[in-house]
Amino acid sequence: GQNIDQPTEMTATEGAIVQINCTYQTSGFNGLFWYQQHAGEAPTFLSYNVLDGLEEKGRFSSFLSRSKGYSYLLLKELQMKDSASYLCAVDRGSTLGRLYFGRGTQLTVWP
Amino acid sequence: DAGVIQSPRHEVTEMGQEVTLRCKPISGHDYLFWYRQTMMRGLELLIYFNNNVPIDDSGMPEDRFSAKMPNASFSTLKIQPSEPRDSAVYFCASNSRDEPTGYTFGSGTRLTVV
pLDDT digits over A93-102, tens only? 765 667 889 9
- What 3 state SS string does chain B have? CCCCEEECCEEEECCCCCEEEEEECCCCCCEEEEEEEECCCEEEEEEEEECCEEEECCCCCCCCEEEEEEECCEEEEEECCCCHHHCEEEEEEEECCCCCCCCEECCCEEEEEC
B105 touches chain A (CB under 8 A): yes
Residue A74 and residue A55 in contact, taking contact as beta carbons nearer than 8 Å? no
Least confident of B20-29, B76-85, B101-110: B101-110
Question: In A, which residues are within 8 Å of B97 by CB distance?
Answer: 97
Higher-pLDDT residue of A21, B101: A21
The residues near A12 (Cβ < 8 Å, ≥ 6 apart) are A18, A78, A107, A108, A109, A110
Q: In whole angstroms, what is the distance from residue B108 CA to residue A85 CA?
A: 16
Q: Do B102 and A91 touch (CB under 8 A)?
A: yes
B42 touches chain A (CB under 8 A): yes
Q: Do A33 and B102 touch (CB under 8 A)?
A: yes
pLDDT digits over B17-44, tens only? 999 999 999 999 999 999 999 988 889 8
Question: In A, which residues are within 8 Å of B95 by CB distance?
Answer: 97
